[in-house]
Structure 1
């Protein structure tokens, strides 16, 4: 980029940015979140110097940010194969953060709300393309929500609850049935998570493809800032609860 620019995010994980030997997904995620905040600084810098930085260099930054999100989803997929249940209620998130989760992540449609709040100079053609994309994404969201409901109904209404409720007195063959039911549940949740993450990443890439590089910078900066604030608010609420006081006004 021409002129002064903020330092590039530092990768403290292994060479490809994924989980290093002996590293937990939680540890990876903390490093990933640190780099996300560093990317946020770069995005804000570009916003503040709009017009002084070539589109080519802006596009390079946008591509790097998208690759950063892709790295997260790729690493999360590996972690899901090890323990998918934890990813649906991650203990490294605050309770407040977990209220925003939809199939172990933010709902893809949130991207369109961020666009509406951060981009005011779209052309009519861009608006038409985004409207079509929104409808397509909403339809897939519904399919995944319906599938999640079927998985949950299978747990509550099926044999899994019955078998689990009398684990100590299972007769011959029932222990195998319980194991098979648990494996089917795990596999179903893993497929759901991967499909939801694929939709999240596909939505982000499709939205960015419609926008100009500088518009994309505004959207990606707004998204990163929203996630940062949700994290900060969650930590504030946790501190208030531990202190036994009333929840403080949420501050950015």
Structure 2
């Protein structure tokens, strides 16, 4: 089963221009790390290595990426931690810029930097999805509270719109119409993907539970059914990619609808929401245990 192809904002450009030399260098560093991950994937595939764990080769490093590591999920977790640290720094800079009431042009630089940083994690997730999509779906790279709200390997973009809607007032009538339309189209796209995933899971379950897998199995039928199941399972990557595409488009569309100062409040609200989820997870993990 192929997931539905969704492009709810086809006419909107996705061009991002990082505004500072330092941030351009940071993005270039992230690009280099992504390229190294891709090279590691290609080398391991050529050697017939199964990406399920273990280390092949030596332990040298380059630009912070272990060259011998074939467990790409572990590398992703490391890079995601670095991404969070940089995200915190950029958010603090944006908050300070808002509080200082700097000019629109200056503020735009900080807003664009935050938007570009979201693109970095989307690109990194896209690379990991090629090899270990189930690591993304499991949410084990997120905190426990964040995992409660996981959808297609990330957050529901329609929920983010709902969270920020009352934090960016006053909105003009065209802006309000644009955001309400965005929320509706995003929700519809989410539903289409969710229904497609439900159908995939049901189809996969039917294959696994079929008579061809009864014991003792007919090996010809068994291998044929398992091959069919593998083919169905491989489409999970497409669902996660389209989920991330929807999240990516939503962020960029909000950036286009809102003024610079509204967009700044938007990104600060989103950052604060996920920060509170992570803080809640820390409190939960540190709670007293009853004997």
TM-score scaled by length of structure 2: 0.72
Distance 1:170 1:35, change over 3 A: farther
Match among 72, 75, 78 for residue 121 of structure 2: 72
* Contact map agreement 2:164 2:270 (CA 8 A) in 1: no
Shift of 1:15: 4.9
- Which aligned pairs between 1:51-200 and structure 2 lie closer than 5 A? 53-156=102-205, 158-162=206-210, 171-185=219-233, 187-200=234-247
**How many angstroms apart in 2 are the aligned matches of 1:31 and 1:167?**
49
Match of 1:46 in 2: 97
Change (3 A) 1:109 1:12: closer
Which consecutive residues of structure 2, in runs of 5 or more, have no partner in the other structure?
A: 1-21, 38-64
CA distance in 1, matches of 2:138, 2:126: 15
Give the whole-Å Cα distance in 1 for the aligned partners of 2:215 and 2:237. Answer: 24
Further displaced range: 119-128 or 24-33: 119-128
After superposition, give the CA deviation of every residue in 1:15-56 in whole Å (9 maximum; x if it has no partner): 525353446111111111111111110121122112xx2212
Change (3 A) 1:164 1:222: farther
- The reply on whether 1:28 has 2:79 as its aligned counterpart is yes
SS in 2 for 1:244: coil
Query: Displacement of 1:160 after TM fit?
Result: 2.3
Which residue number corresponds to residue 4 of structure 1?
Answer: none
Q: Is the 2:204–2:232 Cα contact (8 Å) retained in structure 1?
A: no
* Kept in 1: contact 2:167–2:269 (CA 8 A): yes
Question: Displacement of 1:105 after TM fit?
Answer: 0.7
**Partner Cα separation in structure 2 for residue 163 and residue 96 of structure 1:** 40
Alignment partner, residue 223 of structure 1: 270
Q: Which residues of structure 1 form unaligned runs of 5+?
A: 1-6, 247-252
Q: Distance in 1 between matches of 2:86 and 2:241?
A: 23
Give the RMSD, CA atoms, in angstroms: 2.7
**Bigger shift: 67-76 or 116-125?**
116-125
**TM-score normalised by the chain length of structure 1:** 0.82
Q: 2:212 and 2:277 mapped to 1: Cα distance?
A: 36
Check whether the contact 2:91–2:114 (CA below 8 A) recurs between aligned residues. Answer: no
CA gap of 1:92–1:13, structure 2 versus 1, over 3 A, is farther
> Paired residue for 2:7?
none
Tell me how far apart the structure 1 counterparts of residues 76 and 216 of structure 2 sit (CA, whole Å): 33
Conserved? CA contact 2:139–2:150, under 8 Å: no
Q: Partners in 1 of 2:290 and 2:98 — Cα distance?
A: 39
